[in-house]
Every structure is written in C-alpha cells, then in structure tokens.
Chains A and B, each alone.
Chain A
Amino acid sequence: MSSPTNLHLYILAAPLVAAFVLNLLGRLSRRWVMPLTLGPLVFSTAGSLMLLARVLKEGGFSYTVGNWTPPYGIELLVDPLSAMMLVLISGIALTATFSALPWVEREHPGSEHLFFTLYLILIAGLMGLVLTADAFNLYVLLEITSITTYGLIAMGKGRAPLASFNYIIMGSIGACFYLLGIGYLYILTGSLNMADMAAIIKTLPQGPALATAFAFAIVGLWVKMAFFPLHGWLPNAYSLAPTAAGLLFAPLMTKVTIYLMIRVILNVFTPEYVFYSHPLVQSGVVWAAAIAIVCASSLALGQRDLRRMLTYILIAEVGYMVGGFWLANSQGMTGAILHIFNDAVMTLCLFLAAAAIASRTGSLSFDNLKGLYRTMPVTMAAFTVGAFSIIGVPPTCGFFSKWYLLQGAVQAGQWGFLAALLFSSLVNAIMFFRIIELAYFTDDGEAHHGGHHHGDDHHAPVAEAPLPMLAPLVVTAAALLVIGLGTGPIVSAIRLTLPKFL
C-alpha cells in the first residue's frame, strides 16, 4: 500500500530542517527563534492530524525511502498506532514549546538558538522513531534522540552535567544492548527490515542466539525507558535538566521507548515467541512490573521536591505500561497503549504546572507551595485535574486506562499486578492530597512574621503564572477531560493495531 502524498515525510522534515535554519539564523537575531520553533511544530501537528484522519479512513500504508526496496531500503510504516503517536508527539511538543520559550529565554539567554536546535532535532528524531519499520534505523534514531537529550540536559545548571554524564553512560549501554540484539538478529535473519525479520524468525528454531538477541534488545530498551530497577539515571537527569527540556522529555521520551518495545515485540519477535512460548517469564515480568510500581510509588512518597516526586511517579507509570503490555491479553495491551497517550498528556500537564509554579516561586520544594491557591488559582486548578488523572479519578483519562489495566490483570489472574495498581493509586492519592492541602488551605506569606526568614528564597508568589505558561497548561488540563470522555474512539483505533488473535 502506498501513499498519495509525502505528508508523513514533510511532518518529519519540518522540525529537522527548521533546526538547521534556526541554528544559522538564530545567530543573527533572536527574533527568529519563536517563529522557527513554533512554525514547524504547528505544521507538524496539523499534518499529523490530517495523516491520522486519512489512515483511519483508508487504512495504513508503508513507504520506502528513496524507493530502495526493502530489505535493503528503509521502510516507514504508517498505521493507526504510529499515526496516533505522531499526533501525540507533535501535539505535546507544540504545547510544551509555548511554555519552553520563555523558560529558555530566562535560563539560557543568548543561547536560545543552540537550545532549540537540539530541541527540534530531538522532536524530529522522536517522530522518526515511531514511523520507522527498520530495526537498524530505529537504533540510529534512538541515538539521535539520546544525543540531543544528553546535550540538552548538560545545558542545565548545577549538577546537571554530572547527571547528563551518568545518563550518557546508562543510555549508551542501553542503546548498545539494543544494537547488539539487532546485530544478533541480523546474523540470524540476514535482514534489517522488521516485517522481513518477523517472517524469518517464525521459521527459526528457538535457540540461544534468538534468546540472546531478544534479551539484549529488550533489556536495552528497558534501560532507556527507566524500568525499575534500571531507572537510576532518570530522577537526576530529568529534575536537573533545564525546565524547558524537562517539559519535552518527561511526557515523551519514556513513552516513545515503550512504544518501541511494543513495536519490537509485536512486529519483530512476535507475541508467540515472547509471551506464549515463555509464559513463566511473561508472568515473571508482570511481577517485576508490579514490584517496580510499588517501589517507585514509595520512593516518590519520600521526596520533598515537586519535580523529583513527579519523576518517580513517571517511573511508576512505566511500570504500569510494561506490566500492562506483558499481561499479553487484549485488555492489558489496550490499557498499556491507551496509557501511553494518557500518561503523556498527564505528565505534560503536571510538568507544565510545576514550571508555572517555579516561574513565580523560584523553587519547587514543598515548603514553597503553601497557599498557592489564592495567588495562582488557575495553575493549581489545572494541577488538581492532572493529579486526579494520575490517581485515576473519573472522568479524567487516567481512570480509563487504569480500568483497562485492572481488567487485564483480572483476566490474566495477575493479582500481584492488580494489587500494585491499587496500592499505587492510594499512594498517589496520599502524595497529591498532601500537596493540594498545602496549596489550597495553608495560609501563606504572613508578612508579619517579623524576623522569621527561611534563609534563601521564600518568595510569596505575587501573581498568576505568565500567559505563555498558563495557556498550554489550561489546554492540557482540558485535554485530560476531553480525552477521558473520548476514550471510546481512541480504543477502537488502538484495537485496529493489536494482533487479530487476541
């Protein structure tokens, strides 16, 4: 099946080309920064929506780059799932950029063009990742996204370069593992095209080479998605990164990596091999995910800084998705994929709220959150919606994906995973209600506490967050409700991608 236009390429190319143009023009004048970042992202978002509409109506298609036929050429696969991921990436990138622009101006004056060059290449890389149907191309794009990420994190203050360095080491190990896995597969199958490899793998005996290939590939991806206990690099990397970079990483990076795991399992190694031939390992991984969820949630409980708490919640959410997918039944997989979308939006909402708060209070430690309801009502309202979504309160979208995961767990008889999900909801509720309580009802900024200074910066926030940060936040919070109510169509689109035998 082919496509009438090259829209998907343009969507991918827009941020990429803009990155280079921005780097050149940005040196001349700062006025180029905003149009050259927002412009291509608007284009990409619109384009991916049109692409999605077309794919849902006419069906998916594949595209060979440069007309070099596979298995030598690189193939791109545009099916409902990748089209939806494309919409997700461009939409989130666009929304985050509105808030990122003022932050970069604040934190890296004079280097905006450098920052956004990396930023846009990262987005282009992510888009490429969801479209590619070639295993090695995947590695290349993975490295592209990783390297830009390392650079972006290193631009942060304080211990950020160290965090980036640790991330480089772990990230490279993860990517190398993946590469080695693909290398083994190449030796076994002689091809790098995913569909091709899948067909050949079906005919292979299940020997040590295949097992090693799979282990390398999967563990590599697990390191990159911060699946507990391989998560060590994430909290520091994401919380020390520049705020604008964190807005992009947190919602997208781990989710796209989970998407990659799903692609690799569905389209390369096939569920028969991964799940059904090794049911003990499959349930073992679900148990591991359950432990991941419990530990990450508990670790989040011990944090005293909002952004760090959110990164640990992120790690717990990875556990949800990995466990949900490895439940290997229709409900679980649907829940996991639905959760990719929902979690991306929820994470964006919370990180945007954190950024908005930080823009006025200067610090995100819990002491600085007192009485924010009065001074930043809209921000806190949006934060509350995001919190409800993470806890899983209907009608926000978080409830619906959690429901599918729970049903999948019941269907598979995985009680440990079920208990972990419920435990995590409770722990999330505790954490967020603590914050809501602090922000909504503690009287703050008693100016007549004469001589009672808290050392460094106890700024009483004086006003609501600036509009460029507030607008995307409100839109995202509203989206949580809209997506929640519109779960039906999203789920039907997801179901199109899952294997038919489920």
Chain B
Amino acid sequence: MIDWLHPSFLFLLGAVLVALLPARIRMAAAVLVPLAAFFVIVNLPLGNGLQYQLFGFDLTLLRVDKLSKAFGYVFTINAFAAGIFALHLKTRVEPVAALTYIGASIGAVFAGDLISLYLFWEVMAIASTFLILARGTERSYQSAFRYVMIHLLGGLMLLAGILLQIKATGSVAFDPFAIRDLPTYLILIGFLVNAAAPPLSAWLSDAYPEATVTGGVVLTAYTTKTAVYTLIRGFAGWEILMVVGCVMALYGIIYAILENDMRRILAYSIINQVGFMVTGVGIGTAMALNGAVAHAFCHIIYKALLWMSAGAVLQLTGKSKCTDLGGLYKTMPLTLIFGCIGALAISSFPGFSGYTSKPMIIEAGVHGGFYWVWLVLELASAGVFLHAGIKFPYFVFFAKDSGMRPGEAPPHMLVAMAFLSFICIFLGVYPQPLYAILPFEVNFHPYTFEHTLNQLQLLMFSALAFFMFLPMLKRTETISIDSDWFYRKGGQLFFTAADKLFNSINAQAEKLVAVELTAQVSRFFKQPGFLIQRQGVRLLAAVSGNRQQAEQMEAWLDARNRSGAYPIGIWVLLAVSILGIMSLLYLLIR
C-alpha cells in the first residue's frame, strides 16, 4: 500500500493539518511532513502509478523514474531544512501556503502527463503568491500582484500549448517533444516563464526579495527548479536552450553586480545559476543532463543556505540593503560562516558541492564541441564568485562598519543552516551519493589535480579583481530597471501618447495619473458609453470648429450620464435590430 502513496498528498494533507493545529504544534508538523515524504519517495518503486481518467484521457499522477526521484529527494530535503528554519513562525498563512506550494511542486515533478502537470502548475503559482503577500507591506502587495499576473499569463500560454498539442497528437503524454512547432513552443514559453528566462524574468527579482524571511527561503527552490525539471523532461537537446541559458547566466551576473539589496542580488543569482542548468538541457547529452540535475540538486541546497543567512540578517537587523549593512561579522560569526559556505559552494570552490556538479555541464559542452558555451560558462563561473561568492558576504558582513550589533541568529536557524552546510561540504568531498541518483551513469571525475588547480586559479584571481576594483563597485542606493519596465512604466507612457494623440487640438488638462494598465482600463470601462460619446463630441468639435455647441452637448451628456438616465428605448432598439439581423441571416446565409 505504501508503494503508491503520492508524496504530494502528504504535503497537501499537511497543509490542511497545519491550518487547523494550534501554534505550538503547527511548525512541528511542518517539519515532520517533509521528513515523512522523503521516506515515501525513497520507497517508491520505479514505474507509473495512480492512474485516473479525466476528460476522456488516461492520466498518471505518479511517474517514478530516476529523474523525478532525484528532484523529489532534493525538494523534500530542502523543505525539511526550511521547516526547521521557520520554527519560529506564528502565522498560519505562511506554513499552509508553503506546504501547499511544495506539495504542488512535487506533484508537478511526478506528474506523468501534461494535464496533471498543468493542474499542479497552477496550484504552485497561486500558493506561492501567498508567501509574498504574507510580508504585509505595500510593496509586497503590488509585487505579489505582478507576480501572480505573470505566472497566470505563463500558465495560460502553457495551457494553450497543451491544448494544441493534445489536438495535434491526440495524446497527453509528457515525454521529450520531438516535433518543434507552435504547440511545443508555447509549452516551452510557459516553462521558461517559470524558469525566469529573460525577458520574462523580472518577476523573480521583483517578487522574491519582497517575500517574508522564511517565505524567501522556500520560494527560491521550487518554481524555477520545477521548470528546470520540465525542461529536462520535454526539451532535452533543443539547441535554442543553450543560447537562452548562456544569456541567463550573464544577465544574472550583471544585474546582480548592479544591485544594492542583498536579497535582490541573490534573486538575480538564481537566474544566473538556472542559466547553467538550462544550458545543460540545451546541450542534451547524458553528461549534460546529469550535470543539470546534479546542479539543480546542489543549487537548491546552497541557495537555500544563502537565503537563510540573508534572511537571518534581515530578521535580526531589519535591513536588507548593502548600503545599510556591514561589519556584521563581529557579532554574527556563525551566520557569517554558514553564509560563506553557501557562497563558496555557489562559486564551485573545490571542496564544496558546487564543484562536483556544475563543471559537469561545462565539460559536457566541451565534449559536444560547443566552444562558445564553454567560454560563456567559464566567464560566468568567474562572475558567480564575483557577485555571490565575494560581493554578498563582503558587503553584508565586512566592508564598512554599519554600527549595528545584532546578536547571533536564533538556534533553530543555525541548526537549519548547519544542516545545509553539512550537505554542501559532504557532497563536495564525497559526491558519490549524488551521482548515484542521477538519471544516467556518471563518468565524471572532478578532483583531478589539473582541474582543481585551474578552478582555484580562476576563482582566486577573480577575487583579486574584486578587491582591486572595489571602489568601482561602491554600493549605491539605486535599483536597476529590468524588463518589467515595459509593463510598469511602459503602460503609463503608452496611454499618455494615445491621449495626446486623440486630444491634440483641445489640449486636455486631464492628467492621466495611472499607475498600472488595469487602472487605466478600469477607468475607461467605468462609464465606457459616456467616455466614447464625449470623445466623439470632442472630435466633432475639432473638425467643425463649433466649440460652444460642443461644450453644450458635452454638458448635456455629462448630466445624462450622472443620473444614469439612458432611455430604455435604446436597448429595445438594439433588441429589435438584432432580431432583424438574425432572421435575415437565417434566411439568406447558408
């Protein structure tokens, strides 16, 4: 019976439990659920299970193979650590949302067909929004709004692609897509939105830093890595992904260097790292895919560690901007050490998990003869050390003295960070357990003397560059505009242009104080008839030049609109006209 227990259901059940339990026991449940789920996954036999019928198709809820199991393992391990990190939580919304979110991600990873995948995908988007909303600030609401909009948009593209794919192939199977046409490209775009590929990536750097301390730790792992999983599953070997991945890797670095907020730096860092994974998917060979999975595994762990240390700093100081922080090593040494372990891991420093996983992708690129992939990824590796390995710990813990002396992080946070640090070091020194769960056989030996030496040279001289050019990297209290400019500011500008165009002669004094596209649209649709009529009258006045009559008409329109006194006759006229049209159509048109 335990054979076909879906780990996702454990999480969803856990979410319900957590909603009902009193505060003390609540977080304990939040820690035990991932533990239980981990053991369930360990025991899952390979193959397909939990099949059900819907919409006339045979759907599979539980498709177990090495690939999905690998992601299942790391998702639950991370959930466990995050649960420990969040033991202090008093609210209900966060743990419930987090458990639902994680459960849906696991469901998506084990889904054996497109429809089940889509169901879980949508639940993920909704549940994760609540983690952002839970922060409770004005900025987090707006950020959450944009977040959920982008994800729903991506979800709709995915849905459209799935529907078209079902129509084209007649099957809902979720396997490598052989044909590259509109449906599969739509599905690809849907996946890439979640993977945070530019230009659809602004949501990540916009929303993740606005989440709560514990919410941020949870968010970093699941949406993007589920997207990586789906890319590995469906789009392995699609060359365009190599380009996308390399762009992501560089994009993340450059923006991370410009950033001031420490969690935004880490958010762009996610884009950078996922770029490596996407490139691996694009290369498509066994070693590349192994590398992508291994990297995803290690990345989840060390990224969570980094977000935990940043989160601890935020929790204890209330600040997250580099210009406000500094000198914290004096009173938070353990947090510093754990943060540095995470930083070294993400930089692929020998001895840490990043070193035994990420270079697999680069080597796969080499074996495939992709010279420029190798070049870009090596460049990016140096850059990772720059923005995440050094910049993050340096500006937060060292640099100038901010004068703040917060105490060490609370014990449960330290335990969580220690746990993850242990894994980072363990897998860096003894990667065999990681290699054992990878989908293909592993032929990779990270610790050759030459390789290690090269990597150390690369990294340490990057460090040299950092310290030499430190003055140029001074933190400023700025933000960098990203692709979300188009829907944040762009909409405003568009409407201003349209307004001026249509009112060029009458020089409107009306200032369009719109902040979002929807506000503008809703303003129009509050009284569309009146606005259209008024516009018509103004145009007429512009053409005929009879200003006074136009003003009178306008006043009359305005009065009529205010009292809502549209004569019912208009509707009757409409009804009779449509009647006439329909009878003519049915008579004449075949």
| Interfacial residues, chain A to chain B (CB-CB below 8 A) | 166, 169-170, 173-174, 177, 207-208, 210-212, 214-216, 218-219, 222-223, 229-230, 232-233, 277-281, 284, 298-299, 301-304, 388, 393-395, 399, 403-404, 406-407, 410-411, 418, 422, 425-426, 429-430, 433-434, 437, 440-441, 487-488
Whether A304 contacts B526 by the Cβ 8 Å rule is yes
Q: For residue B570, which residues in chain A have a CB less than 8 angstroms away from its CB? A: 232
* Measured CA separation A484–B171 after assembly (Å): 23
B580 to chain A: which residues have CB within 8 Å?
A: 215
Partner of B579, one of A169, A215, A393: A215
Measured between beta carbons, the chain A residues less than 8 angstroms from B145 are 433-434, 437
Residues of B near A284 (CB, < 8 A) are: 585
Out of B136, B518, B583, name the residue touching A301 (CB < 8 Å): B518
Quick check: A277 and B590 within 8 Å, CB to CB? yes
Q: Is the CB of B587 within 8 A of A211?
A: yes
Contact of B572 among A173, A399, A411, A440 (CB under 8 A): A173
Give a binary string over B567-590; 1 marks a CB under 8 Å from any A CB, 0 the rest.
010111011001110111111011
Interface residues in chain B, defined as those with a beta carbon under 8 Å from any beta carbon in chain A = 53-55, 119, 122-123, 126, 129, 133, 136, 141, 144-145, 148-149, 152-153, 156, 159-160, 163-164, 166-167, 518, 521-528, 566, 568, 570-572, 574-575, 578-580, 582-587, 589-590
Query: Given that A298-B521, A418-B160 are known contacts, is A230 also in contact with B571, CB under 8 Å in the complex?
Result: yes
Q: Which 6 A-B pairs have the closest CB atoms?
A: A302-B525, A215-B583, A302-B526, A211-B586, A215-B582, A211-B587
What separation, in Å, do the CA atoms of A212 and B133 have in the docked complex?
56
Min CB gap B319→A, angstroms:
23
Which of A166, A232, A301, A407 touches B521 (beta carbons < 8 Å)?
A301
Give the tally of cross-chain contacts (CB within 8 A). 139
Q: Which of B136, B152, B527, B568 has a CB less than 8 Å from the CB of A166?
A: B568
Would B586 and A278 count as touching, CB distance under 8 A? yes
Q: A216-B579, A410-B163 are in contact. Are A394 and B123 (CB under 8 A)?
A: yes
Are A302 and B156 in touch, CB under 8 angstroms? no
Q: Are A219 and B589 in contact (CB under 8 A)?
A: no
In the complex where A230-B571, A429-B148 touch, is A278 in contact with B160 (Cβ < 8 A)? no
Q: Is the CB of A410 within 8 A of B167?
A: yes
Query: Quick one: which of B163, B166, B586 contacts A281, CB cutoff 8 A?
Result: B586
- A219 near B160 (CB under 8 angstroms)? no
- Distance (Å) between the CB of B346 and the closest chain A CB? 33
Note all chain B residues with C-beta closer than 8 A to A214. 582-583, 586
A85 to chain B, nearest CB (A): 23
Contact at B163–A406, with CB atoms within 8 Å? yes
9 cross-chain CB contacts under 8 A: A212-B587, A214-B586, A218-B582, A229-B578, A278-B585, A301-B521, A394-B122, A411-B167, A426-B152
Given known pairs A219-B575, A233-B571, A430-B518, the reply for A280 and B590 (CB within 8 Å) is yes
Residue of A nearest to B566 (CB): A232
> CA separation between A170 and B568, bound complex, in Å?
8
For A233, what are the chain B residues with a Cβ–Cβ distance below 8 Å? 568, 571
A393-B122, A394-B123, A437-B145 as given contacts; A170 in contact with B575, CB under 8 Å: yes
**A208-B587 contact given A169-B572, A441-B141, CB 8 Å threshold:** yes
- In the complex, which residue of chain B has the Cβ closest to the Cβ of A312? B525
With A302-B526, A404-B55 as known contacts, state yes or no: A230 contacts B582, CB within 8 Å: no
A278-B590 contact given A301-B521, A394-B119, A407-B55, CB 8 Å threshold? yes
Q: A277–B587 Cα gap in the complex (Å)?
A: 11
Contact check, B582 vs A426: say whether CB atoms are below 8 A apart. Answer: no
User: Which residues on A sit within 8 Å (CB–CB) of B148?
Assistant: 429, 433
Task: Looking at the assembled complex, report how far the CB atom of B149 sits from the nearest CB atom of chain A, in whole angstroms.
Answer: 7
From A230, A404, A411, residue with most partner B Cβ within 10 Å = A230
